[in-house]
């Protein structure tokens, strides 16, 4: 299903892989986390690994001579229905499709696609916070698209252009997030009913977007990442757990399509909807690489990271604002971790944090680390 092709978009900037090795005397400390030599063959537009201006991976040594490897193109490694899909309009940055959930909600969804000849690293479902919309996370969607990702961003039910629900008999309801209760919100992450996923009786917002993406290519995306902000992070986590819960068929798997999860200012509980059920699943506890992105006021994000850290004692990386990073003893370089905490020195949270350029840079680098087939 589809519509008119998305408008031509600029090619993402790329550069050759460059690696420089420096021998630096002296002890390890915060001052050595980031290095900016005067003569360096890198592009100034390159986003940082975890903090500006350039990523430095400490390979060995606590004093004396240390070997620091600067990978100047790490972030540039990125190439950057089940529900009816009706194209509604083409915007400068994304094309709108109107999908339909199993309970009759018209789900306005924006698709941001890189050029056809661009290498695509991942397909992303981006989930905004309560009282947000695709517009509040559009800067992140565009940044990921420019890095080579295909990004689908629904206006969740009760938000933006997704406020209409068809009822039997031709009567329509108008949905408003301010009046929606827990059962309505749980439907956003719902996907269940029967043994065949493509015939499931209950298909909520995120499951409908997933089915739409599968219908466009003829199969589910090979590399699917879910990015959620605020309460959207809670819903993204619940839907990811549901994706991994579908039983396999003789013909192959029905689920386990989500390959990584990014949680921006996650809320432990949002309008009665809790993260806790998903945190008890193997998928979220151990199987899927997870990045928690936080501002300085995001207490739930720190709490979530600390809980997941206990489940992954050998595979975590912790970069809090204003202090030197810490990591599990067995992690010699960031790419060996599967759980990351990245805290930015800002009071911004959720959609506003996700819209920051620094947040987009860290998310793109997380993709390059955990989605690399050779990691």
Residue 261 belongs to some domain of the structure: yes
Residues in the chain: 375
pLDDT score for 49:
43
Of 9-13, 83-87, 97-101, 110-114, the poorest mean pLDDT is in 9-13
User: How confident is the model over 67-104, as pLDDT tens digits?
Assistant: 333 333 333 333 333 344 655 444 447 999 999 999 99
What is the CA angle 328-331-334, rounded to 5?
110
Q: Which of 72, 88, 117 is the last residue of a domain?
A: 72
User: How confident is the model over 344-366, as pLDDT tens digits?
Assistant: 999 999 999 999 999 999 999 99
- DSSP for 167-222, written as a single string: -GGG-EEE--GGG--HHHHHGGG-EESSS-GGG-SEE-HHHHHHHHHHHHHTS--S
Report CA dihedral (333, 335, 340, 344) to the nearest 10 degrees.
Answer: 80
Query: 108: domain range?
Result: 77-370
Whether residue 356 sits in one domain with residue 274: yes
Cα separation, 135 vs 112, in Å, equals 12
pLDDT score for 251:
76
Q: Which of 142, 182, 166, 139 is nearest to 274 (CA)?
A: 182
Q: Which of 304, 305, 301 is nearest to 315 (CA)?
A: 305
Q: Which of 34, 50, 72 is the last residue of a domain?
A: 72
Whether residue 184 sits in one domain with residue 330: yes
Query: Is residue 6 over pLDDT 50?
Result: no
User: How confident is the model over 224-283, as pLDDT tens digits?
Assistant: 999 999 999 999 999 999 999 888 788 777 788 999 999 999 999 999 999 999 999 999
Whether residue 103 sits in one domain with residue 27: no
Alpha carbon distance, N-terminus to C-terminus of the chain: 35
Whether residue 91 sits in one domain with residue 23: no
Query: Is residue 2 over pLDDT 70?
Result: no
Whether residue 354 sits in one domain with residue 280: yes
Cα separation, 149 vs 152, in Å, equals 10
Residue 343's pLDDT band (cuts 50, 70, 90)? very high
Read off the DSSP letter of residue 334. G
pLDDT score for 144:
95
Query: Is residue 45 over pLDDT 70?
Result: no
Whether residue 92 sits in one domain with residue 58: no
Domain containing residue 326: CATH number: 3.40.50.1820
Whether residue 163 sits in one domain with residue 55: no
Q: Which of 47, 72, 97 is the last residue of a domain?
A: 72
Whether residue 246 sits in one domain with residue 361: yes
pLDDT score for 201:
72
Residue 265 belongs to some domain of the structure: yes
Whether residue 167 sits in one domain with residue 26: no
Strand segments, DSSP code E, in 244-286 are 258-264, 269-270, 273-274
Report CA dihedral (63, 65, 66, 72) to the nearest 10 degrees.
Answer: 150
User: Is there a contact between 46 and 72 (Cβ–Cβ < 8 Å)?
Assistant: yes
Cα separation, 46 vs 72, in Å, equals 8
Residue 57's pLDDT band (cuts 50, 70, 90)? very low
Whether residue 320 sits in one domain with residue 282: yes
Residue 169's pLDDT band (cuts 50, 70, 90)? confident
Query: Is residue 65 over pLDDT 50?
Result: no
Residue 120's pLDDT band (cuts 50, 70, 90)? confident
Whether residue 227 sits in one domain with residue 97: yes
Residue 375 belongs to some domain of the structure: no
Residue 1's pLDDT band (cuts 50, 70, 90)? very low
């Amino acid at each position: 299903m589809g519509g008119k092709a998305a408008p031509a978009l600029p090619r993402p900037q790329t550069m050759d892989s460059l690696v420089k090795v420096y021998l630096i005397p002296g002890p390890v400390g915060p001052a050595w986390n980031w290095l900016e030599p005067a003569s360096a063959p890198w592009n100034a537009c390159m986003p940082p690994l975890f903090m500006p201006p350039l990523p430095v991976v400490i390979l060995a040594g606590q004093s004396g001579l240390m070997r620091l490897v600067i990978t100047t193109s790490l972030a540039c490694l990125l190439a950057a229905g089940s529900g009816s899909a009706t194209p509604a309009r083409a915007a400068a940055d994304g094309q709108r499709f109107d999908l339909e959930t199993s309970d009759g909600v018209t789900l306005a969804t924006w698709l941001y696609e890189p050029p056809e000849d661009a290498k695509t690293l991942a397909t992303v479902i981006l989930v905004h916070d309560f009282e947000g919309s695709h517009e509040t996370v559009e800067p992140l969607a565009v940044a990921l698209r420019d890095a080579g990702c295909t990004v689908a961003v629904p206006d969740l039910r009760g938000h933006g252009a997704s406020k209409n629900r068809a009822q039997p008999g031709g009567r329509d309801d108008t949905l408003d997030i301010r009046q929606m209760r827990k059962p309505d919100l749980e439907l956003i992450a719902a996907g269940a009913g029967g043994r065949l996923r493509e015939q499931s009786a209950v298909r909520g917002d995120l499951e409908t977007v997933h089915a739409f993406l599968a219908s466009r290519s003829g199969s589910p995306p090979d590399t699917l990442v879910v990015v959620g902000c605020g309460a959207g992070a809670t819903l993204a986590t619940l839907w990811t757990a549901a994706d991994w819960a579908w039983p396999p068929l003789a013909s192959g798997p029905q689920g386990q399509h989500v390959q990584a999860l990014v949680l921006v200012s996650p809320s432990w509980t949002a309008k009665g909807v809790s993260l806790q059920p998903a945190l008890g699943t193997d998928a979220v506890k151990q199987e899927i690489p997870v990045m928690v992105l936080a501002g300085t006021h995001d207490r739930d994000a720190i709490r979530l990271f600390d809980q997941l850290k206990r489940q992954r004692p050998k595979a975590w990386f912790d970069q809090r604002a204003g202090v030197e990073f810490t990591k599990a003893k067995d992690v010699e370089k960031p790419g060996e971790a599967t759980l990351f905490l990245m805290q930015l020195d800002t009071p911004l949270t959720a959609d506003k944090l996700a819209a920051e350029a620094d947040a987009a840079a860290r998310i793109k680098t997380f993709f390059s680390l955990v989605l690399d087939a050779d990691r």
